[in-house]
Amino acid sequence: MKTLYLHIGMPRTATTVLQKFCADNQEELNRQGYCYPVMPFRYRNTGQLRTAHFMFGRVTDENGNRDMEKEQQYFKDGFQTLYHTFQTYDNVILSDEGLWNCGFREKDNVWEKLKREMDANHFATKVIVYLRRQDDFLFSWWSQRIKEGLYQECVLSWEEMTEKLPIVHLDYCEMLNNISGYVGKENLIVRRFDRQYFIGGHIYEDFINIIGLKFSDVFKVQETVLNKSLTKNNAEIKRILNKLPDLDADSNWAFQNILAHNSNSKKDNEKYSMFSEPEALALFEKYREGNRLIAEKYMGMEGDLFPFEYTAEEKWSPENGEMLEDIILFMGTSYLRMERKMEKELQEQKREIENLRNTMKHPVRWVLKKIKSKFR
């Protein structure tokens, strides 16, 4: 039977890294009977390597109006691409972390539609999901939304976000049980997102093992860290910048790059946590029993799915002692980038002026040069 390996994240568990890994190793995957087909569809603010996005992605026009007819057509065309790929390969890999939060958002949900396709076309689906402890995930998710900007929730403070929890599913047990109702418990592959639990000590080998292959040197590994998280202070700076009334995509991208650069240059201070110890413990206890059921039901292990550890000295606050330094670093980096951009543009203008002068001095030579260039 043909098998679809559907990697659904969860978000902030190196999904971008794994998607790039699959794309980079397409040739080797093909040689071993697997394929990671890149879909031709385009969605706003969504990378093309998110190959399962056609299952739930929303299509909008230039005015932001939803085009449901086109969404349905993309869904149909996406599965036609899957079936065409199955004609050559027994195993197909699709990936999109958005399935974790968006799989059940519609009345006729993704999993119901996937089940209909499985029954009608006789293929199996194995769902791959990595989990990280709820408090750890929550900050990472908030930081990412703030970093991306241009979302409704990208201006929420940490306190506002933890109170409202927009589109964030922290009850992992409930989510996995709902998904298993459509694909079967035996087809739900659950891993903990932590290097100490990865086969071979890194996520590439762990993922390759999940899909039934053996990791070796033939696989290309991306050394560059993709989608680096912002530090706590830089996330707060970006959150405030997201409130600018005239913020557009280009400015948002520029701010994002500057703050990501600064987050790479200066490590986050582990002295601070987004939670106080009592808050972290309360969140841990809230989901502890469900997490234990996941360990038992889906992983065949006893005890806690995650250990509880709190190593910070205090809860983070925007008024912390390093915030002023990080604001100055942002301003300085912005100035230097703007200065270099202006210098580059000035040099280009000088070259254009010099070319125009030469043309005006020797018009006949310029015409002959153009004619020769055309005939070549």
Summarize pLDDT for 112-166 with one digit per residue, the tens.
999 999 999 999 999 999 999 999 999 999 999 999 998 888 999 999 988 887 6
pLDDT at residue 18 above 70?
A: yes
- List C-alpha distances in Å: 123 to 97, 119, 156, 210, 258: 22, 8, 42, 18, 46
Tell me the average pLDDT across 293-317.
Answer: 95
Confidence of residue 76 (pLDDT cuts 50, 70, 90): very high
106, two tokens: 């519609």
- 225 vs 326 pLDDT, higher one: 326
- 370 vs 213 pLDDT, higher one: 213
Tell me the average pLDDT across 66-89.
Answer: 95
pLDDT at residue 312 above 60?
A: yes
pLDDT at residue 367 above 80?
A: no
Q: How far apart are CA 110 and CA 47, in angstroms?
A: 20
pLDDT at residue 376 above 60?
A: no
Residues in the chain: 376
pLDDT at residue 63 in the model: 80
pLDDT at residue 205 above 70?
A: yes
Contacts of 353 by beta carbon, 8 Å cutoff, 6+ apart: none
Which percentage of the chain shows pLDDT scores above 70? 94
Angle at 11 between CA 23 and CA 38, to 5 degrees: 25
